[in-house]
Each structure stands twice: as C-alpha cells, then as structure tokens.
Amino acid sequence: MQAFFDNIPVDSRVISGMGCLQTSAFPRGTIKPGASTASLRQWLLDNFIQECCWTGSDGEPGGFSYRPVLLRDGSPPSIRRVEPDLKVRVADIGTRYEWVLFRLDVIDYARALPFHDAIGRFLKRLIKESGYVVYHPFLSHSPRPAPSGAVAQLCFGYAIVPWDARPTILAYGPGRFYAAIKQYRFFVMRDGSVLIEVLFVVTPRTEKILNVGGVDPVYGLTSVLDLLTFRKTGIVEWAHHSIDRYAMGHHGRVHIHMLEGMRSIWEGSDWSDARDSDAPDSDTPRSGS
C-alpha cells in the first residue's frame, strides 16, 4: 500500500488531502473437478455489493454491508426511497439506475485496529462505523493503465457523502469528510490470478481524531505539548503526519479484512480469460443481463 498527501482543488478552492492506493493479489487456487468456468467481470457486476458482507470461520459477520436507501431512475429521472433489502448490482449503476445511495456499515472497522484479535472482536461491539456512499458510473473509468499481464478488468467506485449515519466518538470517518471517493479495479491476469487495486482519496486531512464532548484529546494534547515546548519542537506537524499515515494504514487494513473474507471466491474459482471478452482498457460497467 502507498499513501500520498497533497493539496487538492475541490469546489473552486484548494483543500488539504490525502489518499492511498493498495494492491492485493489472489492466485488461482485448486479448482474442484467439474467446476465450470466463470467470467470474473460478470460475477462482480452481479454479486460484488452483496458478497462484500460475509461470515467468518468464527461465525461472526465481516466485511462491508451495503443497504440501498435512495436511487435515481425513470424517465424523466426522479429520486425515490427504496427498501434496504432491494438487490442492487454494480451492473445496474449507470444502466437501470443513474446512481444509488447506500448505507455502508464497516463491520470490521474495530477488528482492523492493531490489537489482539480477541480484543478486536470485543471492540467491534462497541465501535460502529457507518456512512452513506453513492455508487456512480463516473467512477467506472480510471486514467491509470492496466498492469502488464492483465487480460480483463472491471472498474467501479463511489463517492462518500458528508452525512453522519451514526453517533460515534470517532471524529474522522465516513460522513465526517468534506469529500472522498473510492475506486475498485479488478484484473484477471494471464495465469488466472486476480489482482485488485483500491484507490481512496479524501479531503481534508485529519483535523480531529476523537470527539469527546466536543474535545479531541489527541490533537488537544498535541497542542498543549506544543505550547509547553514554546513551539520549538515541531510536534504539531510531526503528530499530524503520523496520525494521517496511521489513518491511511488503518484504511488499508480494513480493506484487507474485507478482501480476505472473499479469499475462497478469488482463489477457488476458475475464472475464464476467454469469456472476459472486454479489452483491458474497457472498464465501463455494462448490464449484467
């Protein structure tokens, strides 16, 4: 995973921003006798949103839970509320629906903290991180070239809405950004392995980490130490860089947990290169019908 930090032009002004690009590789596993080949592209178009939420070996749910809330469709287009159990596919974004707003529950947010897994499972019941995201066809394109050896690919993504979904002591997370986007790129490689890129860009950089009665004890303590050292140590800048690097690292660990939960799918499926007929630079979602 690589993290990056810079100023980003947003809404006719320049705001501090940061992001990360992480890559995961899943080899082709042992294929069961009689298993039929499948198109990775088609499987993702039909199943990705639902299969992000899975049950682990311990019986605990994990990954990301997406529940649709609003969508825009029709002629002329109109916005309407939908039931949370409506099955929406990636294939429907930009075809059947102009866009779809989901409630996202990051189930493994606490388990990705750098603690023993037993502590992570306990914290998982206390720390709930949720937000709202909009899947939109605008993010089904990437200026980045496909990696060498890719024979097929699919790209899609969503914007994170600045709208709190759940009260929490966390002051930096979904719904508490000014603007953020996430983009997934899946590749089938010549050897049948699956390569996954996750790109995340957010503005602004962290300004608070915790919100305890309107006070952030993390940056608050940093400011006190800065005053006590007569602003000679550069502790504020050091703390800001360290916290932001940690935030990007945590973001990466959360996605590692989600993708690892789908590991049996990536490694145990016989993805057919021939049936993924789209050229490597063609990553616009199409209807799954």
For the chain, the structural domain boundaries read 2-267
Q: Nearest CA to 153 among 122, 178, 185, 126? A: 185
Looking at residue 121, its pLDDT comes to 65
Q: Is 134:159 a contact under the CB 8 Å cutoff?
A: yes
Three-class SS state of 160: strand
Percent of the chain's residues with pLDDT above 70? 88
97-128 residue pLDDT tens:
999 999 999 988 877 666 666 666 666 666 67
What DSSP designation does 168 have? -
Model confidence pLDDT, tens digit, residues 235-275: 999 999 999 999 999 899 899 989 988 888 888 788 876 44
Return mean pLDDT, the chain: 86
User: Is the model's pLDDT at 133 over the cut of 80?
Assistant: yes
Residue 79 tokens read as 């916005």
- How confident is residue 48, by pLDDT bands cut at 50, 70 and 90? very high
pTM comes to 0.87
Strands (E), the chain: 2-10, 13-26, 53-55, 61-73, 78-81, 99-106, 129-135, 150-161, 179-189, 194-203
Q: Please write the tens of the pLDDT for every residue from 49-78.
A: 999 998 877 777 889 999 999 999 998 999
Task: Kindly state the tokens that stand for 170.
Answer: 């966390």
Buried b (16+ CB within 10 A) or exposed e, 21-49: bbebebebbeeeeeeeeebbbbbbbbbbb
The answer, yes or no, to whether residue 36 has pLDDT greater than 80, is no
- pLDDT value, residue 175: 84
CB contact at 8 A, 268 and 32: yes
Distance (Å, rounded) from C-alpha 259 to C-alpha 262? 5
Please state, in angstroms and as integers, the Cα–Cα distance from residue 60 to each residue in 108, 121, 187, 245, 265, following that order: 10, 9, 29, 29, 18
Q: Measure the CA dihedral 169/175/181/187, to 10°.
A: 70
Report how far apart, in Å, the C-alpha atoms of 58 and of each of 11, 62, 160 are: 46, 10, 30
Structure-token match 């499926």, residue found: 269
Average pLDDT over residues 30-42: 79
Backbone angles phi, psi at 256, to 5 degrees: -60, -45
Q: What is the DSSP letter of 271?
A: B
For residue 277, the model assigns a pLDDT of 42
pLDDT of residue 120: 63
CA atoms 154, 78, 177, 211: torsion sign: negative
CB 26 within 8 A of CB 263: yes
